[in-house]
Structure 1
Amino acid sequence: MARPQKSSTRAALDGIRVVAFEQVLSGPFCTSILGDMGADVIKIERPGTGDLIRHWDTAVRGLSSGYVWLNRNKRSLTVDVKQEKGREILQRLIGRADVFFENYAPGVAERSGLGYEKLNSLNPRLVYCSLSGYGQDGPYRDVKSYDLLIQGEGGIIATTGYPEKPARAGIAIVDIAAGMYATLGIVLALYQREKSGRGQSIDISMFESIVSWLGYFPHHYWHQGEEPPRMGMRHNYVTPYGPYLARNGKYVNVAVATAKDWEVFCQEVIERPDLLKDTRFAAMEGRRKNRAILEEEIEKLFLERDHTEWLQRLKKAQLPYGEVRGIAEVLAHPQAVARKLIREVDSPVGKVPVVGNPLRLSNSPARYDRIPDLGEHTEPILKELGYDDNAIAKLRLDKVI
């Protein structure tokens, strides 16, 4: 029942059907990856209103920017899951599906007749993925959650920003992290199903997802008893490592992460070989302890030249470096242009640009199909399930769809 591929190559998830009982960001991010990779993603939406993210803004010629970001390659089916006939539609659909995904609060799917035990009895091969703020059990199970709130609970805000003031990450990092883990979990469960013949349930917690991204910070705490210092645009433990302001008001990003790089940086880039003889800066640990003195000196040096000259010096020295670019510059980045990162997809308002999927499989390229209007595919999906015109008309009359 999955849609045939337009390309002559076969998409990685061609033939996989995903029923997505999803909303807002974390869930749609997960299923957008599955859709890009060829899965037939059927998005379940509320009749009349649809996904909440449809109403966040009107930035894309009347469409929500968030909806455009996360909902290409999907088919929109409007169903009132509070009605028995609506639940019957979904159960019939799920009986033919490979994956059921939901990212509502724990208990909502069960109360809607879409719990794991119920659906597993209908389809033992079904992979069932639940994504929630804190997981399906534990004392925080029923606590309401958004990306910002879990950035705070999960240590991101406390470790981001400047010494005098913390900050949130500039993107929805928790939603994205959880969505990525959900995608991985689904693909792993599908792989395991090839061996066992059975599906399984997956429990993804936004909180656990972002705590797993704290990296080496917990290890510093466990073994050194220290909370990571907030360093603004600098690295917490490595220096010099971060953007420095040049004379013309542009930033230059520098990453001096090894002893050899430090030697080259001092001799060839900033032309201060005397710093190599200073015992305070001989090793990384010393540079970290004496960061304030060292950073002040480097900041003064960078203000003596324009950013283009610093970039040339860093390139000649073969050190890691980069610029600090705004969104307009990123979208026009020569690397993005060369690799055709920006694509176009069809939508209810015509062709719109989107950022392409970074997964590049040589024989299974990503696809870029239409962003659906609300309920656009309701009738064809119902006909695939065996509903005739009269039955569909009755469902509309009863406001089931």
Structure 2
Amino acid sequence: MHSHMNPSSENQTSANEAKPLEGIRVVSLEHALAAPLCTRHLADLGAEVIKVERIDGGDFSRGYDTYVLGQSTYFVWLNRGKRSLALNVKTEGGRSVLDRLAASADVLVQNLAPGAAERAGLGYERLKSINERLIVADISGYGDRGPFADKKAYDMLIQAESGLISINGAADTPARVGISVADLATGLYTQNAILAALIRRGKTGRGSHVQVAMLDALAEWMHYPMYRHAYNQSVIPRQAMNNPWIAPYGGHATRDGAVVFSVQNEREWRSFCELVLGMPELTHSDAYGSNSRRIAHVAELTALIEAKFADLSSLDVVALLDRAGIANGRLNAPKDLWEHPQLSARDRWREVGIPGGGTIQALLPPAIFDGFEAVMGPVPALGQDTQHVLSELDFSAQQIEALYASGSAMQYADDAPARAAALQQPNREAIESSSALTNETMETRR
């Protein structure tokens, strides 16, 4: 396997001089993507994150696949640095543990379906009565009121409902964005709101109730196309990688792949013709002498460009575009990003432990601090911290045994049975559509 590691990293030797969120306890009833992304970033910043999982398989994303050394791709990405507490929150014993967690926590994150939080005793007013300094962050699909409040939601549905799918894809084929952008946006907005709530608590001494809806998160990103419709009655046509107002624009085939670029103005067009195509006569031609003419003849222009690129490698074309001062990028695949020289040159890779004792390579978070490097702790096995967390919450040895015996908590043995149980869960689509996390209580609402 290709290795990114640089064991002599200066960043590693000076890491963790001061953790921004050290001393902050986050309790999260979470699954899949939005909430786990939020809390993983909080853990990276030094917060203690206690991940509350089902006793029968845990976070269902543990069972999505086994691509990463036998572990789930989603799970190892989103759950490093957390502690796993396996609870049955439907039982009286499980709820008693949650109450003590809430009393000890600074932040509680949940992505339960409407009504489920109240049934589990996790409504904001009750939590506030337990701990008035607690910041409660609720993630939902559509918010807590309105005609869609009770609808089930997951990423593809929010992409569709927000109009995002309608502006992506080719002219005759709308397409979902290839990664879960609704979940990603929601998780990051929730993290941002939690950090703001912590600052406000420092000023007022009071906690907060933060609510983030997936629809709201993507609606924020859709302002540009919405404004165009609302104030100009125009729509953004689906153009794949093309642009209906600029030419040349998008991906252009080379001998061994494709390069993405655009010509933004007439100065760049002159430079492109002279230094990239070697055809300065095109600068003032009838067909291509202005952007509007190039748009009118875009098919012919694209064919001309790709004929010139046919004998050139992508790296050759990139070099020509760089020489001409035209911004560009290679049309890379995930394998190319994995080996991207810019990531390696900036020492962006670290090792992270996974259940079973192995390690994987993971990227540092995007934000770089002076004097602090992200914590990036190991990925937890299901319930591996149950015993320690219960002890820290002042449950006696006898009480802990009673919680295990009653099925209110799961004692950690090793990861293999947990992963086997997770992999017996329904497939991802079935999980998303059924929205079931723990029977009726922990229903999916990423």
Structure 1 length as normaliser, TM-score? Answer: 0.92
User: Once the two structures are superposed, what CA deviation does each residue of 1:102-123 show, in whole Å capped at 9, x if it has no partner?
Assistant: 1121221111000111111111
The answer to whether the 8 Å contact 1:382/1:392 transfers is yes
Contact 2:25 2:48 in 1 (8 A): yes
**Relative contact order, CA 8 A, sep 6+: which one is greater?**
2
Measure the CA separation in 2 of the matches of 1:63 and 1:306. 37
Within a 5 Å distance, the mapping from 1:1-400 to structure 2 comes to 8-235=16-243, 237-246=245-254, 248-278=255-285, 284=291, 287-288=294-295, 291-303=298-310, 305-349=312-356, 350-400=358-408
Question: Identity rate of aligned residues, in percent?
Answer: 37
Counterpart residue number, 1:3: none
Change in Cα spacing, 1:260 to 1:368, as seen in structure 2 (3 Å) is same
* One-letter code aligned to 2:73: S
Return the alpha-carbon distance in structure 2 between the equivalents of residues 302 and 219 of structure 1. Answer: 38
Q: CA deviation at 1:313?
A: 0.8
One-letter code of the match for 2:257? K
Query: 2-side partners of 1:280 and 1:201: how far apart?
Result: 60
Give a deviation string over 1:130-166, Cα, whole Å, max 9, x none.
1111112211111111111111111221111111111
SS, match of residue 362 in structure 2 = strand
Kindly state the Cα deviation for residue 331 of structure 1 after the two structures are TM-superposed: 1.0
Q: CA deviation at 1:239?
A: 3.1
Deviations 1:244-286 (A, max 9, x none): 101x131011132344323322332223434432577566566
8 Å Cα contact 2:252/2:302 also seen in 1: no
Given the superposition, is the C-alpha separation of residues 260 and 150 from structure 1 closer, same or farther in structure 2, using an over 3 Å criterion?
A: same
Give the number of equivalent residue pairs.
Answer: 395
SS of corresponding position for 2:234: coil
| TM-score normalised by length of structure 2 | 0.84
Does the CA-based 8 Å contact 1:127-1:201 persist in structure 2?
A: yes
Q: Equivalents in 1 of 2:219, 2:246: separation in Å?
A: 22
Q: Secondary structure at the match of 2:226?
A: helix
Which consecutive unaligned segments of at least 5 residues does structure 1 have? 1-5
CA contact (8 A) 1:23 1:104 kept: no
* Cα deviation, residue 316, structure 1: 1.3
1:82-106 Cα offsets, whole Å, 9 max, x none, are 1122111111111111111011212
Asked whether the 8 Å contact 1:266–1:276 carries over to 2, the reply is yes
Structure 1 pair 164/299, CA: closer, same or farther in 2 (3 Å)? farther
Q: Which whole-Å CA distance do the structure 1 matches of 2:396 and 2:244 have between them? A: 63
Which amino acid counterpart does residue 64 of structure 1 have in structure 2? S
Quote the RMSD (CA, aligned, Å).
2.0
In 2, Cα distance between equivalents of 1:138 and 1:78 = 34
Paired letter, 1:360: I
Structure 2 portions without partners, runs of 5+: 1-13, 410-446
Between the aligned partners of 1:65 and 1:182, the Cα distance in structure 2 is 22
Cα distance change of structure 1 residues 283 and 35 upon mapping to structure 2, 3 Å threshold: farther
Whichever residue aligns with residue 130 of structure 1, its letter is: D
Residue 176 of structure 1 deviates from its aligned partner by: 0.6
- Give the Cα–Cα distance (whole angstroms) in 1 for the partners of residues 196 and 120 of structure 2: 27
